[in-house]
Amino acid sequence: MTTIAFWVLAVASVLSGYAVFRVDSMARATFALALSFVAVGAILLLLDLDYLGLVVVVMMVMEMAVMAVFMIMYMMNPAGLMPMSMWHDKSRAMSIAVGTFVVLAAGALLVDWPERQGPPPPDITRQLGQGIMGSKMLVMMAVSAVILSTIVAALVLGSARSRYDRLGDDLDKRRSTDPVRGGVGR
Amino acid sequence: MSLEALLVLAAALFAIGLYGALSQQSIVMLMMGLELMLNGLIVAAAAFWYFVAPQRPDGQVLVLVVVTVMTIEMALGFAVQTAVFRSDEVDLTDQATGLSG
């Protein structure tokens, strides 16, 4: 039963992943990618990773919802109404991808992987929690610093006019230069 | 379901993501290719945790890190895309030649 579920989910995730780059609309591509992520989340559930599987599904569905907004902002081919080619260098990309797959799959099949060491613990989520609050705390501290700098960097990159545009590089202008009158600079 | 099957699935997702990242013209679609590559990493990390060392949290923590990397890639990718579009009105990789030597 688990095996059948695994193969169905595996095929679904690969096919919908491939569909991302074959459908003729970026909105459809977003949903195909979301489907691929949900299938991977379900595979994690099959591996007894209840918490992480759920996290992947919930996060990726939300992420694709956000992505859909940006997709519409930067859409090349709205709703697939205007048939057009969205790719370049297709044959070379395909041969590189197939080559990568062959090398990786050969490695996966030929390497003599180590034996399993012991059964999973009774409470798997507890193991993760103990891990990130204990022996793997450095990882989570590094991740938190990186996420904070991501927030700052994304805001700086995404904002059109910041206080430096209004008040000069040293923030020492007495009046802010606004594009329209009536703001803080009057 | 075995370690090999999961790793082959991870390799397939990674290769499809690589194909997308190389072949797509739109910067947003390129980022979807990167996401798909990271999706393969999630499968591989979970497989190693389950089939090799389930008694240590390393594999689970790695999945958590990859999920974080995905969100960071999305956030910064869209921020860069917004900045590039704002300055040059560019949304295709072929036109984003600001750094080409």
Please say whether the beta carbons of B42 and B66 come within 8 A: yes
A140's tokens: 């989570």
What is the average pLDDT across A2-28?
Answer: 89
Nearest C-alpha in B relative to A47: B50
Which pLDDT belongs to residue A76? Answer: 64
A135 contacts in chain B (CB < 8 Å): 57
**Mean per-residue pLDDT over chain A, rounded:** 86
Could B46 and A44 be called an inter-chain contact, meaning their C-beta atoms sit closer than 8 Å?
Answer: yes
Nearest C-alpha in A relative to B43: A40
Q: Residue A161 above 90 pLDDT? A: no
Q: Which long-range contacts (CB under 8 A, 24 or more apart) does B33-36 make?
A: B33/A20, B33/A21, B34/B73, B34/B77, B35/A33, B35/B70, B35/B73, B35/B74, B36/A17, B36/A20, B36/A33, B36/A36
Q: Residue B57 above 60 pLDDT? A: yes
d(CA A65, CA A156): 23
Which pLDDT belongs to residue A81? Answer: 58
Most confident of A19-23, A85-89, A167-171, B65-69: B65-69
Which pLDDT belongs to residue B4? Answer: 92
Buried b (16+ CB within 10 A) or exposed e, B22-38: bbbbbbbbbbbbbbbbb
Burial class of residue A54 in the structure, from the number of CB atoms within 10 Å of its CB (0-12 exposed, 13-18 middle, 19+ buried): middle
Which residue from B67, B75, B94 is facing A59, i.e. has the nearest CB? B67
Which pLDDT belongs to residue A184? Answer: 63
pLDDT band at A180 (very low <50, low <70, confident <90, very high): confident
Which residue from B42, B52, B94 is facing A114, i.e. has the nearest CB? B52
The DSSP string of A145-158 is: HHHHHHHHHHHHHH
Please say whether the beta carbons of A84 and A76 come within 8 A: yes
Report the first-to-last Cα separation within chain A, whole angstroms. 70
A96 contacts in chain B (CB < 8 Å): 18-19, 22
Residue carrying the six token digits 């040293």: A170
Could B54 and A74 be called an inter-chain contact, meaning their C-beta atoms sit closer than 8 Å?
Answer: no
B1 contacts in chain A (CB < 8 Å): 2-3, 6, 46
Which pLDDT belongs to residue B84? Answer: 87
Cα radius of gyration rounded to whole Å, chain A: 24
Q: Residues near B86 by Cβ (< 8 Å), separated by ≥ 6?
A: A160
Window from A43-52, A101-110, A170-179 with minimum mean pLDDT: A170-179
Strand-pairing partners, residue A87, are: B24
Q: Residue A128 above 80 pLDDT? A: yes
Could A97 and B47 be called an inter-chain contact, meaning their C-beta atoms sit closer than 8 Å?
Answer: no
A146 contacts in chain B (CB < 8 Å): 68, 72
Which pLDDT belongs to residue A44? Answer: 93
Q: A16, A33, A89, A162: which to substitute to probe chain B, counting the most B Cβ within 10 Å?
A: A33
B76 contacts in chain A (CB < 8 Å): 150, 153-154, 157
Residue carrying the six token digits 């999630």: B42
What ipTM did this prediction achieve? 0.90
Could B43 and A43 be called an inter-chain contact, meaning their C-beta atoms sit closer than 8 Å?
Answer: yes
**Mean per-residue pLDDT over chain B, rounded:** 89
What is the average pLDDT across B1-30?
Answer: 90
The percent of residues above 90 in pLDDT, for chain A, comes to 47
A20-64 pLDDT tens trace: 888 877 778 888 999 999 999 999 999 989 999 999 999 988 988
